[in-house]
Amino acid sequence: MRWTLCLVAVSMLACGGGARYEGGEFRDGPVHFAVRPPDGWRAISVARTNDLAWAHDDAGAVLQVNGDCDPSLDIPLVALTNHLLVGFTEREIVEQNLVPVDGREALRTHVVAKLDGVPRELLLHVVKKNGCVYDFALVAPPGERFAQARASYETVLQSFETR
């Protein structure tokens, strides 16, 4: 029994121990990027659906950053963006265009939609770089509270850098 526990412990250490975010850098297997957390936001855990997420209670907003290095994700940016919108209804795309993120072309999508009947405004960015897909999302109540949170989102997006 003792040897079995030792083998399990060694196996877990050899696999890298899972995701971690230290000193502004996120690592989880082949996913490795730097991003500055937003000022005034608190880190939250979102049941392994996002690598990093923060909430701003005053704005009622959530900001997330996610990375995945899976060869099967070499699909168009529009399809990857649509995947982020699963569960949202009555979607209205306000604006969609290509913008640079970390030296690559990213699809930026501004959407107004409902989640479980509750109105939400979203700003999404999806970028592919070096065999990985990175997505960013800001989800907030529409209007003023979305506008309030948007500056923090843009700051996080500008700080993003793959490693």
CA dist., res. 85 & res. 107, Å (int): 14
H helix intervals, 53-128: 77-84
Are residues 67 and 21 in contact, defined by beta-carbon separation less than 8 angstroms? no
Report pLDDT for 7: 28
Report pLDDT for 6: 32
Using the 8-state DSSP alphabet, how is residue 71 labeled? G
Report pLDDT for 45: 87
Per 3-state DSSP, what percentage of the chain is helix, strand, and coil (rounded to 5)? 25, 45, 30
Per the structure, the count of domains in the chain is: 1
pTM of the model: 0.86
CATH number of the domain within which 66 lies: 3.40.1000.10
Structure tokens at 39: 């000022």
Using the 8-state DSSP alphabet, how is residue 21 labeled? E
Structure tokens at 97: 């265009």
Q: Which residues does the chain have with pLDDT short of 70?
A: 1-17, 48-49
Residue-number span of the structural domain to which 158 is assigned = 2-162
Structure tokens at 104: 């690559």
Structure tokens at 162: 């793959």
